[in-house]
A = this chain, B = another copy of it.
Amino acid sequence: MVGFNKVVNSYDEALKGLKNNMTVIVGGFGLCGIPEGLIARIQTMDVSGLTCVSNNAGVDGFGLGLLLESKQIKKMIASYVGENGLFEEQFLTGELEVELTPQGTLAEKMRAGGAGIPGFYTATGYGTPVAEGKEIRSFGGKSYVLEESITGEFALVKAWKADTMGNLIFRKTAMNFNPMAATAGKVTVAEVEEIVEPGELDPNAIHTPGIYVNRVIKGTFEKRIEQLTLASA
């Protein structure tokens, strides 16, 4: 009887079943709250042609930047990819397909994917290139764009604490896209800073209930800072 113990002890196990051409939803905003170890592990695996859904594409040599380096990503769905030189190059040469999506729409597409809502209307992007080819509909005299949900074969998220049943708590702005990503994966893997026993997390303060999480792995995190800004003394 395995019950609800979701803990796995190796990245191999954590990423078992990840195959060529799959869609992988990855939590994080910039380098904040990204599943560092899971991403790094994919670089060592023989998988390619991935579609990655993530607000950003990491930076050169860190985060999803690693998988751009190894050319394992075929397509990026993201809202902002400006931090990445390699990305720029692959995008310009046409090696990388890119679907730029407004940040709020991207977040909502993931939420909708996890929530069984195949499409929703938003004013975001109306009258812009983002709305091209999409249905426009008027509600109360205002125009809205129909956006479709996103799901993935895998979702890789980073949490602060997990219990063995996969209940997750995120920390500060390292939460960002992780809760929605967790709901939108067919297999959701959470890389976390700490794993505790069931009952140790306050049931009133759990951000992601364990039902969304298939595997939990304890990671170690570099937590690289993109823009160190300090108060002037």
Contact = CB atoms under 8 A, between A and B. Distances in A.
A108 interface: yes
Nearest to A142: B118
A137 interface: yes
Instruction: Label chain A's interface by main secondary structure.
Output: mixed
A121 B122 contact: no
Given A139-B148, A171-B204, A120 B123 contact: no
A205 interface: yes
A98 to B, nearest CB: 24
B118 A140 contact: yes
A122 B202 CA distance: 32
Interface string A100-120: 000000001000100111111
A100 B193 CA distance: 45
B122 A172 contact: no
